Chains A and B, each alone.
Chain A
Amino acid sequence: MTGPQTQPQPGSLLSVRNLAVSFPSEAGRVDAVRGVDFDLFPGRTLAIVGESGSGKSVTAMAVMGLLPEYASVTGSITLNSRELLGLDDRQMSQIRGRNLGMIFQDPLSSLTPIFSVGQQIVEALEIHQNLDRDVAWKRAVELLDLVGIPKAAERARSFPHEFSGGMRQRVVIAIAMANDPQIIIADEPTTALDVTVQAQILDVLRLSQTETGAALIMITHDLGVVAGIADEVLVMYAGRPVERAPVDELFARPRMPYTIGLLGAVPRVDIAERRPLVPIRGNPPLLVDLPPGCPFQPRCPVSVPECGDREPDLAVVAGAAVDGHSAACIRAHEIRDGQIDGRPVYPVPLAPDVPAARVPRQQRPAVLELTGLSKTFPLLKGAILKRRVGSVYAVSDVDLDIRESETLGLVGESGCGKTSTLLEIMNLRPPQHGSIRIAGVDIGELRGRDAERQLRRKLQMVFQDPMGALDPRMTVFDILAEPLQAVGEADRTAIAARVDELMDLVGLNPEHSDRFPIAFSGGQRQRIAIARALATNPSLVVLDEPVSALDVSIQAGVINLLNELKVKLGLSYLFVAHDLSVVRHISDRVAVMYLGRIVEIGAVDQVFGAPQHPYTHALLSAIPVPDPVVERTRERIVLHGELPSPTDSAPGCRFASRCPLYLTLDVTQQTRCTSETPELTGRGDTDQRNACHFR
Chain B
Amino acid sequence: MTTNLPPLQHTVSPVDSTPSHPISPAEERVARRGERLSRRRLYTRRFLRNRGAVAGLVILTLLVVFALAGPLFTSYSYTDVDFTSLTAAPSSQHWFGTNGVGNDTFAQTAHGLQRSLIIGVVVSLLTTLLAAFVGAVAAYLGGTAEKAILGVVHFLLVVPSFLLLGLISQKAGGDWKVLILVLVAIGWTYGARVVYSLCTSLREREYVQAARFMGVGSLRIVLRHLVPNIGSLLIVSFTLGVVTTVQMETALSFIGFGVKQPDVSLGSLLGDGASTITSAPWLFYFPATMLTLLTVSMALIGDGLRDALDPMSHSAGRA
Contacts and interface: CB of A to CB of B under 8 A. Distances in A.
Interface of A: 23, 25-27, 30, 32, 52-53, 56-58, 61, 66-68, 71, 104, 109-110, 281-284, 286-288, 426, 452-453, 456, 459-461, 463-465, 468-475, 477, 482-483, 485-487, 496, 500, 507-521, 524, 532
A500 B29 contact: yes
B14 A282 contact: yes
A452 B8 contact: no
Contacts of B159: none
B8 A514 contact: no
B11 A286 contact: yes
A261 to B, nearest CB: 15
Given A26-B8, A473-B311, A486 B214 contact: yes
19 contacts: A26-B8, A52-B4, A66-B3, A71-B3, A110-B1, A284-B6, A286-B11, A456-B214, A468-B207, A471-B207, A471-B225, A471-B228, A475-B36, A486-B211, A511-B29, A511-B32, A514-B32, A518-B311, A519-B10
- Closest 6 pairs between A and B when the two form their complex, measured CB to CB: A53-B6, A456-B215, A516-B311, A469-B206, A57-B4, A468-B206
B14 A283 contact: yes
Contacts of B16: 281
A463 B206 contact: yes
A519 B13 CA distance: 10
Contacts of B14: 281-283
B158 interface: no
B213 A32 contact: no
A521 B207 contact: no
B6 A486 contact: no
Nearest to B204: A468
Interface string B227-248: 0110100000000000000000
Given A53-B5, A110-B1, A471-B207, 5 more contacts: A25-B8, A30-B5, A468-B206, A471-B211, A487-B215
B222 to A, nearest CB: 13
Contacts of A52: 4, 6
Contact of B28 (A30, A482, A511, A512): A511
B207 A456 contact: no
A428 to B, nearest CB: 9
Interface in B1-49: 1, 3-12, 14-17, 28-29, 32-33, 35-36, 39
A23 B5 contact: yes
Given A516-B311, A519-B9, A58 B210 contact: no
B214 A58 contact: no
A456 B213 contact: yes
Interface of B: 1, 3-12, 14-17, 28-29, 32-33, 35-36, 39, 205-207, 209-211, 213-217, 224-225, 228-229, 231, 309, 311-312, 314
Nearest to A105: B2
Nearest to B14: A282
A426 B213 CA distance: 6
Nearest to B229: A473
A520 B15 contact: no
B216 A482 contact: yes
A60 B138 CA distance: 47
Contacts of A487: 214-215
Nearest to B228: A473
Nearest to B210: A469
B206 A465 contact: yes
Contacts of A281: 14, 16
B283 to A, nearest CB: 47
User: Which of B12, B214, B309, B311 has its CB near the most chain A CB atoms (within 10 A)?
Assistant: B214
Contacts of A287: 6
A513 B15 contact: no
User: Which of A284, A486, A510 has its CB near the most chain B CB atoms (within 10 A)?
Assistant: A486
Nearest to A506: B15
Contact of A483 (B12, B214, B224, B309): B214
A507 B11 CA distance: 16
Contacts of B35: 514
A397 to B, nearest CB: 25
A461 B213 contact: yes
A54 B84 CA distance: 81
A471 B7 contact: no
B202 to A, nearest CB: 10
A668 B172 CA distance: 88
Contact of A58 (B1, B4, B309): B4
B217 to A, nearest CB: 8
A514 B36 contact: yes
Given A53-B7, A473-B228, A477-B36, A468 B205 contact: yes
A526 B1 CA distance: 27
A513 B4 contact: no
A67 B8 CA distance: 19
Given A473-B231, A514-B32, A66 B1 contact: yes
Nearest to B318: A519
A283 B213 contact: no
Contacts of A519: 9-12
Contacts of B5: 23, 25, 30, 32, 53, 58
Contacts of B6: 30, 32, 52-53, 284, 286-287
Contact of B12 (A25, A110, A520): A520
